[in-house]
Amino acid sequence: MLLKDCSQIYTLGPQGTFSDEATQKLRIIGANVNYTSTFVEALFKVTEDSDSVAVVPVENSVAGTVSQVQDSLVRSDLVILAEINLLIEYDLLANSELDQIESCFAHPQALEQSIGFISKNMPRAQSKLTRSNVDSGIQFLESVESENFPVAAIVPVSFAKKNSQWKKVSGIQDYPNNTTRFLVVRSRQENEQLDYSRKKTSLLVEFQNDRSGMLYQLLSVFNLFQINLCRLESRPAKDTPWAYVFFVDFYNSDETEACIDVLRVSNFRYKVLGSYDIVS
């Protein structure tokens, strides 16, 4: 991996978040972990510090794309160095019976990944959105100490274990295979050289004009070289209403460079966001 010279890592805090857990998988000796309040803040930090990387979630197998992260990949000149897959499990902490809960602290991603459980078991609960899953737990503890009303929080399993005095429901995520893809990114260097012998490549593709058959033409290029796409997703182009850009992830092969060469001479604007391996 291209992380041996990294001295700083930025990721969503505080300590104990899933982003932090993904960061620990990198095992970069001597690198300092710096915790941020948002995913976008972590990405902003690496644009200011060329000797740093950020670890941020980009997609969940249930809830889909983390849009603010994906949009930041377009807005900032970043390159993907690695992907980390993490199985996500949630516990629920509560100070009362679930059907009596009035408020539930939850990070937006956690809420989306367990909305079925919440809707069925806590019909009275109003969601109180937080900055991270650990922050949800902290606000829960502060709430039960200062106020006397039924409250709950969606938290990581590790946080629930440390606070076992409260009612707990384990594994409240709606699907047991709930998995999040995290990306390791840094600022793009001048004359960036990408290694297409890595496992995957990610592209941003823009069409230069609106016409019929554009998507078919794009997919035909990958089909020509028998490139296996693992993700194709559209996002608003931001600068033009109802215009869209496409994110394409595919598995590298011996034909990757030839495929990209054809894209280069086709009627597309594209940017290679990175070519990278999956960290186990």
The number of helix segments (H) and strand segments (E) in the chain equals 9, 15
Say whether pLDDT at 105 is over 70.
yes
Q: Do 83 and 94 reside in the same domain of the chain?
A: no
pLDDT at 2 over 60: no
Q: What is the pLDDT of residue 265?
A: 86
Domain of residue 240: give its range.
Answer: 194-280
CATH of the domain at 242: 3.30.70.260
pLDDT > 80? residue 4: no
Q: What is the per-residue pLDDT for 178?
A: 97
Number of domains, the chain: 3
Q: Are 268 and 244 in contact (CB under 8 A)?
A: no
CATH number at residue 29: 3.40.190.10
Taking the CB of residue 229, how many other CB atoms lie within 10 A of it? Answer: 12
Write down the pTM of the prediction.
0.92
Report the SS3 class of residue 160: helix
What confidence score (pLDDT) does residue 148 get?
Answer: 81
What percent of the chain is helix, strand and coil (3-state, nearest 5)?
30, 35, 35
